[in-house]
Structures are given as structure tokens and as C-alpha cells.
Chains A and B, each alone.
Chain A
């Protein structure tokens, strides 16, 4: 490129710079795209390996260690892989076989318990330590993730949590409302009657307001507000002000996720 002089060189250099930037960006984008495809393919393949060759990996100590660390570094959870493998075989061998193969199932629930603890810890920030079982299930079986677990059921989760309650009496499944909606509680806070009622409402609507509580349960508005705000302070509910009526909506955080996914 011949070097330009004079006033025009200013405008030219500016446009050239822009072009370079664009080029650079498109290059980087391409690279990024290819790399992420490679990565996701590799993740998937690694997860498949974990599913298909569990015995080989298990029997060789060094292999196992290498494999595990490899999995961690690319963001594949070997636990999830082994879980889905086991859960598949568990369902196949239902009834009689499951009794005979008790050991393997124990293993399955132990692994699942580890997974549940991880997720509950992670979600504690969002929901204050109370999470719906079906939400947990949805996260664990999310097909987009390389770490999804196939054939997992709610009752599996409940069973694992039951095992865990020996370690922490506060960690357990609680049931709310007429539809027996199940939640896992990982904090020491006991839900009182009022609070379970609020969860019932949230189950249907996704949120509760003072007005709804007053209308349905005949609570005083002071009392309703008090209950709701206390739940907010524990982190169970999130506050949102309705843009039209100015009414305060107290949202169940799991619904926030649902809405997000919907859009």
C-alpha cells in the first residue's frame, strides 16, 4: 500500500483502521466459533467415553486419575456421566433385579447425593436454600449440557436426599400444598404454616402479592406483608414492582428461571 499524504490520509487511515478492526473481529469470531464447536464435540465425546468404558477406567488407577483430571479441565463432569449410565441400567433392572443388584444402586444414590449438594449450594444464592425438586431435575437433565443425566426421576432425587438427612437433619424434602409439590430444603430455617401457604400460591401463579393473600386466606394486609417480607429477607422470594398497577409482586425464583427459558 502506498503511503498517502495530505489531508486525505487522515480519513483514509481512519477507514483503514476500521477495516482492520472488522477483519480482526471476523477472524476472532471464526476462531471462536470453531474452537467452541471443537470443545463441545470433545466434551460430548469425553462424556460418552465415561459412559461407555466405566469399568476400564475404574480398574486402572492411573487411567482413572488422568481421565478425571482431563474431564475437569474441559468442564465435563465424570460424575454425571457415570450417573446417567447407572440410572439407565437401574431402570432396566427395575423390580426384582434392583433388589439383587442393591450395591450398584447404593452407589448411584451416593453419586446423586454429591450432585444434589453441589447444585443446592450453587442455587442457595438465588433461592435462599429452598429449591423445587422438579427444578433440580430439570437442571440435571438439561439435554443441552454435556453433563446431563438421562433417565433421572424425582423419586431418585428424593431418595438421595433422604440418605443425606443422616448427615444434616436440616437437609430434607418438604411437601407444600394440596398438589404435594416437593421442595428440597438445605438450610436450617423451618417453614411455618404461613410460609408454606405462600409457596402454594407461588406454585400456581409464580408470584404472590399482599392482595392475593388477603383475598384467598383472609389474612390481614399487615400480616400478609410481614410474612412475605420475611420470606424475602430469607431469600425465598424476589421482589418485583408491577409496572402497571404499582403492586409489589413477590416472585418464586424458580419461576424466574422458567420464564427465562420460555422466552
Chain B
């Protein structure tokens, strides 16, 4: 395959960036999208140019490190992570636009790499449970109904990649925050912090400069893990419940 790539190049956070065009030949249909970028970088290094910086880690679709907005879609045209996207999703001769996540809470560090530590601070605000340390607890000590376990697992699938923020026209982090809140709030292990969790995580989310939800549904469409849009509805419900229970 022969491709024309238009890639966002930006030296650092303080320098304005721009799209740069590269021609790439000899791309196999079986390559992943990131392997295709590896080939581009090898060519750039041979030519003595600066390689394109992009985030990646496990390349198995489970770590949440890879990002990229490909032709306007977070993680590209397939419902998966960029590392699990293959070049067979594109045609010979295609022009592909590659951009970083865009949100003021996710500033660009270099080229396609953005700073997602705002997510870490949202987790620190309440994405944990209080549990005694030591040996593993007896598995049957705290029974969890099957339906609740399934619900928690559906939301626990969130890998925190930030595609929801990238796809949202308001740069909102509602789907990420709601996935984390619902995952723990439905379980008995998470119930001691049920109210403070949702209030603190929402308020940290606001403090990080993410936008608000207008229910466009773009986040759930972009999510590689299929976190449902109703996750946001459930978080709103939890938030309303918590404001009634907690006096601040």
C-alpha cells in the first residue's frame, strides 16, 4: 500500500504546531496502525529527520496508552484502540490525517503526545476503595449479586485512554468519570465512599477544565471499550443522591 500521511507536528507545548505531509510506500495490510507509524519513523530517522512522537505501550488494546485522532475519529474508523486498528481498514492511495487528542485539559507535549495526568487527578479524588492491607480476603466474605458484578465489570472496562474527551465537542470527561464512579459505587466494597466519591470526582473533573455534557453521544460512539452513554445518566443520578445525603 502507498499512503499519504498528514501528521500533526509540534516541537513542544510552547511552540505552535502544524500538519506535515509524508509519503509512505510498502505498507502491508496486516500491519497495525502503530507499526505503520514505526515504518514512517524509521524512514525519518534514516533521512536525519525528527521521528513522530506518539504514545503506545501494550499494543494489545488493554493499557489505554495509545491515542490519535485518525481522519477525525478518535482511535480511527474501527471500534477499537489505535494499536488494534489494522491497515486493512484503509485503501491503497488513501490520505490519512493524524492528529492528537484536542482538549484544553489535555495539552500537547510533543507531536501526537498529550498530557493526560488530569485523569490521574480525577482518579485520586475518589477512584479508590478503603480496604485493609495484608493477605487476600476470603472470596465469599462479601457476596455481590451477579447483575451488580456484570454492571461493575462493564464500567471497569474503561482503560482511561481519553477518546471520550477527544471526541466530545465540549472536551468533557463525563464518560470517563462516570465509568469510574459507577464501577465502584455499585459494589459493596465501594459503598463507604459512595457519596463522597461522586461529589469529589465530579468536582475534580470540573477543576481540571473539562467541559460539560450536552449529551451529543460522541463519547460513547468513540469509546473503544463500549462504555454506554447511560453511564453518564447513572452518574448524574448518583450525584443527585449524594447531594441529598451529604451536608457540606
**Do A and B assemble together?**
no
